[in-house]
Structure 1
Amino acid sequence: MIPLYDMHCHIIPGVDDGSVDMEQTINMLKIAYEDGIRGIIATPHYHIGRVVADISQCQWKLGDMLKNIEDMNMDMELYLGNEIYYFSDAMGKLVNDEIRTMADSSYILLEFDPKTEYGRILHAVNDTAINGYIPIIAHVERYECMVEKPDRCVEIMDRGALLQVNASSVMGSHGKEIQKFIKKLMKKRYVSFVASDAHSDRHRAPRLSECYAYVKKKFGEDYANEIFCYNQIRIIEDR
């Protein structure tokens, strides 16, 4: 199996609703490594009024995580990003380095309310692209406006957006309707990334291998490799 890369993961301890402490983070790193994950982009929440992860704090905690990885002799890459709950001044915060792009690239990870109107997603994609960034729509299967009208995915993709889905959703954990929606997208090769969106070492752990095997069987090895590895490397290399 190729090395897997998890590009949406709440693994930095004590900065959002993900890992609560370094002990849990280390457990998550071990789970990920045993599952075949060899690269992680940590994406703490940036949600004005709720959770705003401090960049400097995230950076030094990421440094501690890298030291632990070295001590455990694990060959794993770690990078920093943010999961940005889109708001009107998001681009200004990015320009001022108050929010992180994905692994210091041109890619950014955008989140919305599950009941958000489609016009807001479309506006966010346009706003992002105009400012020179490549928007990745986090767990696109959560947004009712997209599930109800899958063709909207084509419109935002035409405007520069990429789509990410959660591994648990691919496997049916969030219902048949959501799984069916994702299958439609995958049949047309619309999904660019599958990620764990892990928040702990228990029920939302950083595991991808089962989902990789499922996608490989259903949609082919080449496509599985793209959305679990090669596209993630494109983020890291900013290409």
Structure 2
Amino acid sequence: MIDMHSHILENVDDGPETTEETFQLFEQAIAEGITTIISTSHALHPRYHVPCHVVNEQIAQFQQEIDRRNMPLTLYPGHEVRLAGNIVELYENGQLQTLAQSNYMLLELPSGTIPTYTSSIIYNLLTAGVTPIIAHPELNATFAKNPATLEQLIREGALAQITAGSLAGKFGKSIQQLSLQLVRSNLVHTYGSDVHNVKSRPFLFEKGLRFLEKEKLWDAVDVFLENNARIINNQPLIVYEPEDHFTKRSWKLFRAMKK
């Protein structure tokens, strides 16, 4: 299985602080059946910005040690990019990482609002050949109050990533139920742990998937895992048409994103 949202690099953002803590995460990932991790350290965040060369250097160093220890794990570079007006310029200048060097970028919105220029940034990224994947929309206050706001951004070409811990109940019942609503409404396309450490922000990758299976959303599990793999291979994702007004719950194949 592939985890496409993680904070695993040492002492660069709010993830692990030491090499030992990073390798504890790697061991936990392997125990949960994860074979591949895309590292998505923060970029353009108010508190953190991890430069591309730091990401690439740590990924190379950790992969070398992983291979030396014969651990069944592969790492890829990436960023969780905070929404900003100059994203496209920074990307084109090589200052921002996409996911595993693909045409997909993990895009983080402010937790309390949706800036008015969000749609224009999505349009500009798409025009530049980059498909934005909105990180953890279930944790955004505006999406929680009005999920149709997320639906509109998806109709404009964005995709969305749900967090394992949200589905597993880590952040409370209301966020868990909102996450379930978003999945059932075809407003989610990929699945990530957003792991930060082994104690307070662990992977919970398998637990989140088991919750979806308990809710009989087996198709969603299959699509999320397939799409995570497609990101690695830079392939079109399986995308479903959002259900109008969140009333229908069928999963009808709509289209695949064009590169």
Which position in structure 2 is the counterpart of 1:91? 88
2:167 is the alignment partner of 1:170: yes
The offset of 1:206, in angstroms, is 2.4
Cα deviation per residue 1:9-58 (whole Å; 9 max; x = unaligned)?
Answer: 00011221111121111110000001111110000000255211121122
Identity %: 28
Cα pair 1:80 1:100 within 8 Å, conserved:
yes
Q: Which runs of 5+ in 2 are unaligned?
A: 236-259
Residue in structure 2 matched with residue 79 of structure 1 by the alignment: 76
Which structure has more relative contact order (CA 8 Å, sep 6+)? It is: 1
Query: Structure 1 length as normaliser, TM-score?
Result: 0.92
Q: State whether residues 164 and 191 of structure 1, in contact with CA within 8 Å, keep that contact through their aligned partners in structure 2.
A: yes
Counterpart for residue 42 of structure 2: 45
How far apart, CA to CA, are the structure 1 residues paired with 2:230 and 2:66? 23
Structural RMSD (CA): 1.6
The one of 125, 145, 148 equivalent to 2:122 is 125
- Deviations along 1:215-237, one digit per CA (max 9) or x if unpaired, are 1221333321221x211111111
TM-score of the aligned structures, taking structure 2 as reference length: 0.86
Matches within 5 A, 1:6-21: 6-21=3-18
Moved over 3 A (4+): none
In the TM superposition, what is the alpha-carbon distance from 1:203 to its structure 2 partner? 1.3
Inter-partner Cα distance in structure 2 for 1:232 and 1:19: 23
Give the Å deviation of 1:118.
5.3
Contact 1:187 1:219 in 2 (8 A): no
Can you list the C-alpha shifts for 1:91-132, whole angstroms capped at 9, x where unaligned?
111001111011001100111211123534333322322222
SS at match of 1:51: coil
Single out whichever of 214-223 and 97-106 deviates more from structure 2. Answer: 214-223
Q: Conserved in 2, the CA contact under 8 Å of 1:32 and 1:207?
A: no
Amino acid at match of 1:232: N
Residues 166, 49 of structure 1: CA spacing in aligned structure 2 closer, same or farther, 3 A cutoff?
closer
Question: Does structure 2 conserve the Cα–Cα contact (< 8 Å) formed by 1:13 and 1:21?
Answer: yes
The whole-number CA distance in structure 2 between the counterparts of 1:62 and 1:182 is: 31
Find the aligned partners of 2:54 and 2:172 in 1 and give their Cα distance.
Answer: 37
Corresponding pairs, count: 235
Are 1:6 and 1:41, in contact at CA under 8 Å, matched by a contact in 2? yes
Q: Does 1:29 align with 2:8?
A: no
